[in-house]
Structures are given as structure tokens and as C-alpha cells.
Structure 1
């Protein structure tokens, strides 16, 4: 394993795709980089996920302007991570929405997450000088809420903990399409450093219950048709369970974090080793799985210093 973060050497620009996944619904994807979603209503546009910087957000805006000139009125953030939220200022939206729990996580660990992700993903934070500060919602909620974009209904709701404790999904019922954030990934590793392993598969089943026509996942290609949707849900659940079960067996025997890493590699490398950001996510996933298996229910805050400590420990 490299002595630097696996993502630190990834400086190649990714190819952007802008795919229609329903009437007036689009997925902005970039070869495993964070995705964004676009929901076009009668009167205005909602963006799902703001990207890491205003520079990256403008790439989303350029795609939006290729299909509509309607104003961007809402930005919805599925959780608090810096790579998802710090580009919000570029959209100049009247409302920025996240869950109450996600807002509380900005308070608790938003700056620490920004600092640590800045070190982990230098390419995504090019142009960081434009970021005006932490992104705060203008509107937050617990449970569910509905936004009307003219006559188009958009349901925003918490369906359970998974990638973070504050996750939300965005459902457009007229097309039965859902934007899931990092609860669901496709051919990309799940980042589980703030995750809740025991809850995650249950949350995936809550999504499956919608019998969706399409999903825009957090990373990876858009998923259209029930076969692709169900395959992605199954695969995400397999990734989460495989990671946790291997680490938990080591923790139950009093083994070390490094031993847990070896066990997770044995279980996961053959199935997921070629996934986008797999090597980057792996140590954070193992550390969180090892903690949860030892009864640490509330994910510990990742700081730039803790990142490097953990990385050094696993390098041995």
C-alpha cells in the first residue's frame, strides 16, 4: 500500500457524463467522482449534491444550462461531507436543504471533515480558494418534507442511517426515480468512515421497497430499470456486510486493527478491488467497522491528524 493516501496521487481529470434518467431528471457522473442530480420542475430546478468546490459546481451548472434555462431554486444535500457540499455557493439557490441530523454533523465535525478531505482528495479541491466557508442549510427537517417545483412534487426523506447518521434520499414520484446519495453506489466503493454498518442493509431495503424505475447513486453510473436498481442495492449490501463481518470476527477475538485490515482484504479484494476509490476507502472502512464491532456506536470524528495516525498504524 502506498505511503500516501491512495487518492492523493489521483490527479487525472475524469470524463463527465450527463444522463437522462426520467422526464426532466438527470444524473451528473464522473467516473467514480461524487455525482450530482438535476430535477427540472415547471418553474425552477433542484440540484442534488453541490460538489466539493464552486469550480466543480460550475461543471454541473454548464450541464444544466444545456437542457434548461430555468433558475436553480433549491440545492439538496444528502449528507454533510465536504466533497458533497462546499460548492453550494456557486448555485445561488434560495434554499439549501439538509436533514436536521446532517446540520448537527456540520456543527460537530464539518470543519474537521473539510480539513481531512482536503488532504485526501487534492484533485477535487482544486480551486478551493473560492469556497466561502462551511455550507449551512437555509432549511432543515426531521423525517420528511415535500418541495413543489411548480406542479412537480419532490419528496425528501430520511429512510435510515447508512453512509452517515444524517442521510436523506430525494424521490420524484411522477417518474418513480430516486437520488440516494452515498447510501447506494455502483461499481464504486462505499465510504464507511462515518457509517452505521448494522443499519445500512435495512436502509437499502427501505429504498428497494419503492420498486424504483431508476436510481442516481452517490458514485458510479446511473441505474435504470429494476434489474440494474436491484443489482446495485444487492451489491452495496454485499460490500457493507463483507467489510463489517470480516472486521468484526477479528475484533471479537481481540485482534488488532492491522489484522482486521488483512481480513477485510481477504474478503473484499477479490470482489471489489477494481472499484473506484476502493483503496482510498479501505482503511477508513476497516477502522469504522472495527470500532462498531467493539461497541463504538457513534462514529469517531476523522481529523487530518487522526487520518495520518490510522494510515501510519496500518502501514506498520
Structure 2
């Protein structure tokens, strides 16, 4: 391999921010590292996104305990990726919730994804020795599910494929706030390695139709106010489109993966090079876009070995 993955050497600690984005609704953010959400109900607390390890999950729990002593009853995962789900055991929740498709993807590719992500970005797995194994939900649903935390209603919905095939969003109607997972990012590159480029924009349209007052995105700062929400949705759309369009053109004329890489750099570097995890995401985004443009609808499973082979091809 000509050089290491961009994030293998990223060991700098990120500043944690804990912002209230609606009454008793909080966004745990960390400068482009994976975010978590906190929804406080009448009698208990729901966590959105578990973090990658129990040790990292305890940082979320510390913030929760700074504002409430109510028990954590629910942990919801928007999708299956290791950095989102492997810390779930720390919360000791009564229910661990995913969509049906996300659970199926844990079965299909959960261990491979864990191995792959750990190789690419080791800092995000601080305390990895504390992970008890793959995280499986206790509860799943297909399209929509409603959870009541006392009188507080929380709606879980699959609005379409985007970052993965199984993405869900969490909407709290009484404050009109949404937790989007990695469908929406803010000043952070979208990871598209398991994505669906053609459908991502439609799913963003479905989110925009809620006309929410705040969003906790998958990465980046909390988005409070309709202007901030609209800006992030549109910048996410621009990132996805600016990645896929040049690859589609390359694939149509029979160009190589390396040709696609060069075309995406020309399209995206001027606009997004300063985004968090940009260099980390780019090779995986190009590889998935190249597959989709050539008719491979179901994202191929990333393994530690496939990662290295792809990276060598791009560096070659």
C-alpha cells in the first residue's frame, strides 16, 4: 500500500459539545466524530446512536447524567455501522431498536463492517476491548414505529435509502426536532461506501418535507433553526451529487476506478476538501459510486482485505 488510510493516523482528541436543540432534546457532537442524540421523556430517556464502544458510550452517559437522573430505557440506531452500534451494551436499556433492514445488514455484514472500520479509523474505537460482540436489536420495525416516553411521542420512520439501505430518522413532534443519522451531515463529508446515490436526494426531500425546527445530524454541529436545517440538507445534497455525477460520466465511457477518483477530486476538492473526514470517506465513496454507475445496486460488503485492494488500485 502506497500510504496509510487518511484516518489511520488521525489520533487527535475532539472537543465534545452538548447542545439542547429543543425542550429536553440534546445533541452530543464531537467535531466531525459520530454524534449521538438524547430524548428525555416523562419517566425515562431514549438515546439515538450508541457510539462505537462502551467506553465512548460512557461519555454520552456522563452528559445525560449531568441533566437528568431518569433511567435510559431505549437505545435507537439509525443504521448498522459499527461506529454507531457497538457501544450499546453500556446503556443497559430495556429496548434496543433498529429497522428491519438494518438488523438484516448486521446479520449479513456486521462483523466484516466492524473489522473494516476498525482498520480504517482506529481512534473511533477507543476501548474496543470492552465491546461484547455485535449489537442486535430487541425490537425492529419495517416502515414506522411510535414509542411513548410517558406522554412524549417519538416517531421512528424509514424515509428511503441514502447512507445505507436501512436508514431511519427519529422525529419528536412536540418540538418538531429530528435526528437524521448520517442521511444529513454538516461540514462533514458523507460516507457513501454503503450508500444509494440515486435515492439519497429523494430521501433528503422527504426529510425537508417535515419542515423541522432543528436537526441533530450524523456528524457536525447541531442545526437549530430552519435556515440552518435547509443549508445542511442542501450541502449534503450537493456533496452526494458532486460525487456521483462525475463517476457516472466516467463509467458511461468505460473509464477506470482511478479515472473516477481523479474526476471526483476535481469536482469535490474545491468545495469540500476542508470538511471533516473528507479524505477518509473519499476512496470508499468513489468505489461505491463506480459500482452503482455500473449497475451494482446492492452495495458490496467492505472487508479489511477489500479495503486494502481498493486503496492500492487508487494509489497505483
Match of 1:278 in 2: 278
Match of 2:119 in 1: 119
Report the alpha carbon displacement of residue 2 of structure 1 after superposing the two structures with TM: 7.0
Quote the Cα distance in structure 1 between the aligned partners of 2:239 and 2:265.
Answer: 12
Q: Is the 8 A contact 2:156 2:168 kept in 1?
A: yes
**Alignment pair present for 1:152 and 2:152:** yes
Report the alpha carbon displacement of residue 113 of structure 1 after superposing the two structures with TM: 0.1
Quote the Cα distance in structure 1 between the aligned partners of 2:125 and 2:65.
Answer: 23
Q: Is the 8 A contact 2:43 2:150 kept in 1?
A: yes
Quote the Cα distance in structure 2 between the aligned partners of 1:138 and 1:53.
Answer: 19
Could you give the per-residue CA deviations for residues 240-271 of structure 1, whole angstroms, max 9, x where no partner exists? 00100011110111000001000000000000
The normalised TM-score by structure 2 is 0.99
- What are the within-5 Å matches in structure 2 for residues 149-228 of structure 1? 149-228=149-228
Could you give the per-residue CA deviations for residues 43-71 of structure 1, whole angstroms, max 9, x where no partner exists? 00000000000010000000000110000
Match of 1:235 in 2: 235
Q: Is the 8 A contact 2:2 2:312 kept in 1?
A: no
Quote the Cα distance in structure 2 between the aligned partners of 1:126 and 1:215.
Answer: 27
Report the alpha carbon displacement of residue 121 of structure 1 after superposing the two structures with TM: 1.2
Match of 1:129 in 2: 129
Q: Is the 8 A contact 2:189 2:278 kept in 1?
A: yes
Match of 2:20 in 1: 20
Report the alpha carbon displacement of residue 126 of structure 1 after superposing the two structures with TM: 2.0
- What are the within-5 Å matches in structure 2 for residues 50-89 of structure 1? 50-89=50-89
Give the 3-state SS of the residue equivalent to 1:167 in structure 2.
Answer: coil
Match of 1:295 in 2: 295
Quote the Cα distance in structure 1 between the aligned partners of 2:121 and 2:27.
Answer: 22
Give every structure 1 segment of 4 or more consecutive aligned residues whose post-TM-superposition deviation is greater than 3 Å. none
Could you give the per-residue CA deviations for residues 262-289 of structure 1, whole angstroms, max 9, x where no partner exists? 0000000000000000000000000000
Report the alpha carbon displacement of residue 125 of structure 1 after superposing the two structures with TM: 1.0
**Runs of 5+ in structure 2 lacking a partner?**
none
Quote the Cα distance in structure 2 between the aligned partners of 1:82 and 1:111.
Answer: 9
Aligned residue pair count? 316
Quote the Cα distance in structure 1 between the aligned partners of 2:274 and 2:300.
Answer: 28
Could you give the per-residue CA deviations for residues 119-144 of structure 1, whole angstroms, max 9, x where no partner exists? 01111112111100000000000000
Change (3 A) 1:146 1:2: farther
Match of 1:101 in 2: 101
Q: Could you say what the CA RMSD is over the residues aligned between the two structures, in angstroms? A: 0.8
Match of 1:250 in 2: 250
Quote the Cα distance in structure 2 between the aligned partners of 1:124 and 1:302.
Answer: 18
**Runs of 5+ in structure 1 lacking a partner?**
none
